[in-house]
Amino acid sequence: MATEKAKKPSKRRSLVVSLQASGFTATVLGLIVTAVIVLSPSLQVLAEQRQQIAELEAQLAQTDAEVLALEDQLARWKDRAFVETQARSRLMFVYPGDITYLVLDDLPGDVEEPDADVSDEVQVTEVNWREALLGSYLVAATTTAVPEEEDREMTPELLPAPGSGTTP
């Protein structure tokens, strides 16, 4: 019987220890939940600030790259040869005695070609180019149409050939 009495108090002690442990656990869990609730707004602000810092660092890196590009451009403009080249190409400046040539429309225009099937056979048109040239010449020589006011401004005045005896 002594053994039975000895076993009962140890069960009570383990039950008391278990209740104390569960009370301690509940207290710790309650404190953790309270800490999360209290600290979550601060952690959210911290995360937002970290994101803003990362964005600002990216902007800073981009601005630094722009500054370096502008410093390179400034260094180029300090070079006399570069300035001379730019003045010749952009402003068409020349030295006295230089001969310059100006080419207009040297690049093909942006013409959209329709999507047409390309044949493997060579097609020959039946047009007499001599008759077309003669017809164009006759139309231009015999027309009596007067150019409109806008066309007159664009058309240079024709001067008679020297020695023809007529005055403008």
Structure tokens at 40: 């979550």
CB within 8 Å of 147: residues ≥ 6 apart = 155
Note the pTM of the prediction, 2 decimals: 0.36
Banded pLDDT at 49 (limits 50, 70, 90) = very high
Tens-place pLDDT, residues 62-107: 999 999 999 999 999 999 999 999 988 888 888 888 887 777 877 7
45 vs 13, higher pLDDT: 45
- Identify the pLDDT of residue 65: 96
Task: Please spell the DSSP secondary structure of 38-77, one letter per residue.
Answer: HHHHHHHHHHHHHHHHHHHHHHHHHHHHHHHHHHHHHHHH
**Residue-wise over 43-62: b if at least 16 C-beta within 10 A, else e?**
eeeeeeeeeeeeeeeeeeee
pLDDT for 164 beyond 70: no
pLDDT of amino acid 94: 86
For residues 111 and 43, the model is more confident at 43
Q: What is the pLDDT of residue 162?
A: 56
Domain ranges of the chain: 2-82
**pLDDT over 90 at 59, yes or no:** yes
Among 46-50, 76-80, 102-106, 113-117, where is mean pLDDT lowest?
Answer: 113-117
Is residue 11 packed enough to be buried (19+ CB in 10 Å), middle (13-18) or exposed (0-12)? exposed
Backbone angles phi, psi at 118, to 5 degrees: -95, 130
- Kindly state the average pLDDT of the residues 128-137: 87
